[in-house]
Structure 1
Amino acid sequence: MNAEQGIVFGVLLATLGMFIWNRLRFDVVAMLALLVIAVAGLVPADSIFSGFGHPAVITVAAVLVISQGLVNAGVVDAIARFLGKVGNNPVVQVSTLTLVVSLCSGFMNNVGALALLMPVAIWMSRQGGHSPSLLLMPLAFGSLLGGTMTLIGTPPNIIIASYRKSAGEAPFAMFDFLPVGVAITLAGVAFIALVGWRFTPHRKDSDDGKDLFSVGDYITEVRIPEGAEAASRTLHNLLKKVEKDADIAVLGLIRDEHRELAPSTFEVLRAGDILLVQADTDSLQQLLDTAGLELADEGDREDNNLGEGDVALQEVVITTDSQLIGRTSNRLNLRERHGMNVIAVARQGHRIKERVGNIRFRAGDILLVQGPEEALAEALSTLGCLPLAERGLRIGSPRRTIMATGLFAVALITIVSGWLSAPVALVGAAVAMVIVGLLTTTEAYRSIDWSIIVLLAAMIPVGQALETTGGAKLIADQMLVVGGDLPVAGMLALIMVGTMLLSNVVNNAAAAIIVAPIAISLSNQLDLSVDPVLMAVAIGASCAFLTPIGHQSNALVMEPGGYHFGDYWRLGLPLSILVTAVAVPMIMLVWG
């Protein structure tokens, strides 16, 4: 091992360790790795940031924009609407959900497909009287399986296609992944639907499968009496006066015969106004004492229907890249900036009893939020939260649905026919969707997961350094020493299983970037085509079923499903074995 190889191995080991440690975001870790490689002189100065213009990175960004365009047009919801008609039989529910999410994941971002169908799955579980844990893990695993079917189904496939080009071959085409991907998807869906779902923990919500939150006991009406200091002041001033000592959310304002839910913080209060507040006993007393308010008497009280008008009350889950993580609602001024009240927070299936404004949010926390419907939808998108139960489906007009489907179909046809490369065709489709009004430029930029873009752009040069320094060949030599007597099928299984294990502890795109050059070097020494080994890497990188941290889909369902870290391997281990057993013979048959 020479000095350059030692530096590359040291950087990779440190990077993997920091990925597993999970104290810094994975995109930040990837940029640190790139900077160390650059300072060490292992990447040419003019190529340090070349990853940001890499075709794989451009393709991933375009796919994310197109996915949002399809969602806006109502295409995906049109597919999902029939799920409410499948009945309450667990086998039917699991098989239908898993199959639908697999099909969606083949042609759009798999995390996006999961996010769209997760509210439907939770609604179905509650209608059927069983725990969401029964459906959510199969749904997440189905999204991973479906992503293996096409070039654009998951970032590892796009990366592997580019590595095939670097090995001197044409990049993998759109449907080159289809034979192996369809085989493992059908086998996986059949296993999950018939047997696997029984391995998931059947946990009940705190409310026996019904709503996780019950806020009725925490809602009170208070009146502003004549002469009170709060009269002629804004709601903002009232809350500012007590926010340090009390945890209060104002859900509504009643004035004469008019009811205003989620009132503006700049609303000027008047004597006689009745405020609908959510607060615990101590906070309520603080409000009454500090602001000189009084409890509304029976003659003042009205029906506290929080769902009235255009104001929504929703359960949402915090995603793994949300800007809420590590911060509190008080610190973020969510009410002031986004018009959103956080009424309650649940973690690990139980409502947190602390003051809501002081709770430091974590990825996977479930929030009960309230606000005007339009403003709330935009706020959730900006903050990185996904709605759970009772998400209204977008009813796109037939014209928009046909337009979005047509643009996407044209892009696929041009790619398959060879008229245009995948990056050019998909970027063209994304731009066309913006031009025809299927999504705004703001929505287009917001739909791109920039953390994934930065991760890919930073790790691609690091992977190239592993190859150019001879580090990949060195690892391949050691693999030959260990498994040199294995048949080709055994070597493919070794590569696939190794990539699977790595993808369960680091981001799957990073796993593909690290393992691909090693697999290419190994194929050269074995005098094999690069195709079967790259396909083995692609399947292994996409099938992270053993932990909740290997893929965003697994992490997203952890809290809503009430899963623990150790729950994933019960279904994930037999599914991983099945995928390997099906994929290796199919790879040899198609690419051998």
Structure 2
Amino acid sequence: MTYEQIFLFTLLGFVFAFLVWGRIRYDLVAFAALVIAVIGGVIPAEHAFEGFGHEAVIIIALVLIVSRAMMNAGAVELVARFVISAGRSLSTHIGIMSVVGAAMSAIINNVAALVMLMSLDIEAAEKAKRPVSRSLMPLSFATILGGMITLIGTPPNIVIAQFRDRALGEPFSMFDFSPVGLVCAFVGIAFVTTIGWRLIPESATRATVGEGGDTGLFVAEAGVSEKSKSIGKTPSDLFPLADEHDITILGLVRNGKRLRGFAAGEEIRKSDHIVLEGDPKSIEAFIGAADLDTPGTEDHGGLRGKSLTLVEAIVPDNARMVGRTAMDLRLLYRRGVTLLGVSRQGRRFRERVRKLTIKPGDVVLLLGPQSRVNDAAEWLGVLPLAEKSHTVIQRSKALFAIGIFAAAVATAVAGFVPLAVALAAVVGIYALFNIVSAREVYEAVEWPVIVLLASLIPLGLALETSGGTQLIAEAILSLTGALPAWAILTLLMIVTMTLSDFLNNVATALVAAPVGLSIAQSLNVSPDPFLMGVAVAASCAFLTPIGHKNNTIIMGPGGYRFGDYWRMGLPLEILIIAVAVPAILIFWPL
């Protein structure tokens, strides 16, 4: 072996060891390896940072921003009404959630799809009084499977597509992954729905829904606009919807006065205000579901309306708010922020929220654009709780956001503009119409993943140009002897899938893709089945909580242990290999 090959194999060996060890952040490990490779002379200094401008890196960052925008626009609420039902059997619930999760993962990043649906799954488990661990792992696996359906669903697909462009002169297109991805997703979802969830060990079901949750409830008001669908109904008519969102309707305000009792039988009129009690997220969700308005947000409405945030803040003894009301402070007029609700040790009160005298120890719920809320909190002297900030869903923009994204994808698929340019235009439009704020554009990007990918791209290229990947390919071929090409493809997928269970799937794809290409060239067959096999295998990390971020996300809420994953993950990985290889050979012949 040459000096470059020895250096790179040794360096990558240390990189993989540190990634499996997990004590040092993976982005720092990858970036340090890049610097060492430059110092060692195996990567030219002028090419060291080309990975940061690589199209795959740009596309992944843009997809993450688009995913945040879809969350802000309330895309998940368009399907939520068909998902949440405590009366369904567990298998039916898992099947519906898995299909929805897979479908969403195909059009947005699969991590974002899981985050959007996880709260719904937890809510459904709470209503059905069953352990959430039974359904969270199937949901995570389904979103991973759904990500394989399109180019933008999962980072390995983007990496493989761009590698093919560099190696063969043309990338995989948006839906080239769909035939094989759909087969894998269909079979995988059928498995987790009927058999898989039953394999989760009983110890994992120890997790109970709502443990450690915040029991602090806020009293808030919601206005009835001229076109609200709640007009003509009574508060009692809204009780089922309120129960669904864990909200208590406390009464009705008309002409500035609170009506007697709960006003359960009083017909709701235009300009009334409904008094609610619940946690901030539940209040916000109920206001949207009941087609109500939040007082004071008129200036922020419309398609160009600003992105709003709900922030909980504690009122200390020396705060400007103490002993005063929101009306006294003219909070909305002076600061452009609304006092939406107040929590006072679980107590209820009959005063209107904006006329309530604030006391030390109260927790207030402030609504407004992020920058204004921060300024208002400082001016009021209250202490915002960083972990208690909630983005207000802009439901009126949901169809607009979906339409813009669909048009951009269609434009890219038709070949009018590259995918990266189309997604960049979508992000620009979303920012222009305040579906994502400038702050959220940067917050949505998972910078550690970007640094990891951008650092490993030059390392992978150096391994390929030095002949290192060819050596790996020759080693695999020597071990397989006279086996047919399909058997070698199966072995490559098994090795790739095993690596992905312990390494980042992007890192796995970057290393395995050139090996697959070298094997195909040595066998004198089409490289596409091998590249497609690497894409499938790198995405399917079901054995451990560290192989895929979705598995990591559910570990705490589901109460899972490290060893719980392989019980359902191992048979699923075997099943995916069994169906993926024939599907690849049918749709991408050797």
TM-score (norm 2): 0.72
3-state SS in 2 of match to 1:339: strand
**Counterpart pick for 1:377 among 386, 390, 395:** 390
Counterparts in 2 of 1:313 and 1:147: CA distance versus 1, 3 Å: farther
Q: 2 CA distance for matches of 1:501 and 1:312? A: 49
Counterparts in 2 of 1:198 and 1:205: CA distance versus 1, 3 Å: closer
Could you tell me which residue of structure 1 aligns to residue 479 of structure 2? 482
Shift, 1:85, TM fit: 3.1
Q: Which runs of 4+ in 1 moved over 6 A?
A: 214-217, 269-273, 306-314
Could you tell me which residue of structure 2 aligns to residue 263 of structure 1? 314
**Is 2:70 the counterpart of 1:70?**
yes
After TM superposition, the structure 1 = structure 2 runs for residues 550-565 of structure 1, keeping only pairs within 5 Å, are 550-565=547-562
| Larger mean Cα displacement after TM superposition, 32-41 or 184-193 | 32-41
Could you tell me which residue of structure 2 aligns to residue 305 of structure 1? 346
Shift, 1:215, TM fit: 7.7
Shift, 1:201, TM fit: 2.7
Q: 1 CA distance for matches of 2:421 and 2:320? A: 56
**Counterpart pick for 1:548 among 540, 545, 550:** 545
Could you tell me which residue of structure 2 aligns to residue 190 of structure 1? 190
Could you tell me which residue of structure 1 aligns to residue 25 of structure 2? 25
Counterparts in 2 of 1:504 and 1:433: CA distance versus 1, 3 Å: same
Q: 1 CA distance for matches of 2:382 and 2:501? A: 37
Could you tell me which residue of structure 2 aligns to residue 513 of structure 1? 510
Counterparts in 2 of 1:150 and 1:87: CA distance versus 1, 3 Å: same
Structure 1 residue identity aligned to 2:385:
M
Q: 2 CA distance for matches of 1:267 and 1:515? A: 61
Structure 2 residue identity aligned to 1:439:
V
Q: 2 CA distance for matches of 1:268 and 1:313? A: 12
Counterparts in 2 of 1:337 and 1:150: CA distance versus 1, 3 Å: farther
Shift, 1:213, TM fit: 2.6
Q: Does the 8 Å CA contact 2:20/2:502 hold for their aligned counterparts?
A: yes
Shift, 1:266, TM fit: 6.7
3-state SS in 1 of match to 2:545: coil
Shift, 1:88, TM fit: 3.5
Q: Does the 8 Å CA contact 1:87/1:93 hold for their aligned counterparts?
A: no
3-state SS in 1 of match to 2:13: helix
Counterparts in 2 of 1:271 and 1:563: CA distance versus 1, 3 Å: closer
Counterparts in 2 of 1:198 and 1:204: CA distance versus 1, 3 Å: closer
Could you tell me which residue of structure 1 aligns to residue 212 of structure 2? 213
**Is 2:105 the counterpart of 1:105?**
yes
3-state SS in 1 of match to 2:76: helix
Q: 2 CA distance for matches of 1:574 and 1:42? A: 41
After TM superposition, the structure 1 = structure 2 runs for residues 33-432 of structure 1, keeping only pairs within 5 Å, are 33-85=33-85, 87-203=87-203, 209-213=208-212, 262-265=313-316, 267-268=318-319, 304-305=345-346, 339-340=384-385, 371=388, 376-377=389-390, 394=393, 396-397=395-396, 400-432=397-429
Q: 1 CA distance for matches of 2:584 and 2:418? A: 25
Q: 2 CA distance for matches of 1:411 and 1:215? A: 41
Structure 2 residue identity aligned to 1:190:
A
**Counterpart pick for 1:453 among 450, 472, 482:** 450
**Counterpart pick for 1:496 among 484, 493, 497:** 493
3-state SS in 2 of match to 1:547: coil
- After superposition, the C-alpha distances for 1:105-152 in whole angstroms (9 at most, x for unaligned) are 111111111111111111111211211110110011011100000000
Q: 2 CA distance for matches of 1:265 and 1:588? A: 67
Q: 2 CA distance for matches of 1:262 and 1:146? A: 39
Structure 1 residue identity aligned to 2:314:
P
Shift, 1:437, TM fit: 2.1
Q: 2 CA distance for matches of 1:13 and 1:271? A: 61
Structure 1's unaligned 5+ residue stretches are: 218-260, 274-301, 315-335, 342-368, 379-391
3-state SS in 1 of match to 2:24: coil
Counterparts in 2 of 1:439 and 1:27: CA distance versus 1, 3 Å: same
Percent identity reads: 40
Counterparts in 2 of 1:45 and 1:187: CA distance versus 1, 3 Å: same
Q: Does the 8 Å CA contact 1:77/1:395 hold for their aligned counterparts?
A: no
Counterparts in 2 of 1:120 and 1:272: CA distance versus 1, 3 Å: closer
**Is 2:567 the counterpart of 1:570?**
yes
Shift, 1:270, TM fit: 12
Q: 1 CA distance for matches of 2:452 and 2:527? A: 25
TM-score (norm 1): 0.72
Could you tell me which residue of structure 2 aligns to residue 443 of structure 1? 440
Q: Does the 8 Å CA contact 2:70/2:402 hold for their aligned counterparts?
A: yes
Q: 1 CA distance for matches of 2:189 and 2:47? A: 42
Counterparts in 2 of 1:312 and 1:585: CA distance versus 1, 3 Å: farther
Q: 2 CA distance for matches of 1:444 and 1:306? A: 39
Counterparts in 2 of 1:473 and 1:396: CA distance versus 1, 3 Å: same
Q: 1 CA distance for matches of 2:420 and 2:209? A: 45
Q: 1 CA distance for matches of 2:34 and 2:317? A: 47
3-state SS in 1 of match to 2:534: helix
- After superposition, the C-alpha distances for 1:406-460 in whole angstroms (9 at most, x for unaligned) are 1101111111111111111111111111112211111111111111111110010
Shift, 1:263, TM fit: 2.8
Shift, 1:79, TM fit: 2.1
Counterparts in 2 of 1:63 and 1:210: CA distance versus 1, 3 Å: closer
Shift, 1:168, TM fit: 1.9
Counterparts in 2 of 1:194 and 1:74: CA distance versus 1, 3 Å: same
Q: 1 CA distance for matches of 2:493 and 2:173? A: 21
Structure 2 residue identity aligned to 1:195:
I
3-state SS in 2 of match to 1:433: helix
Could you tell me which residue of structure 2 aligns to residue 13 of structure 1? 13
Counterparts in 2 of 1:564 and 1:271: CA distance versus 1, 3 Å: closer
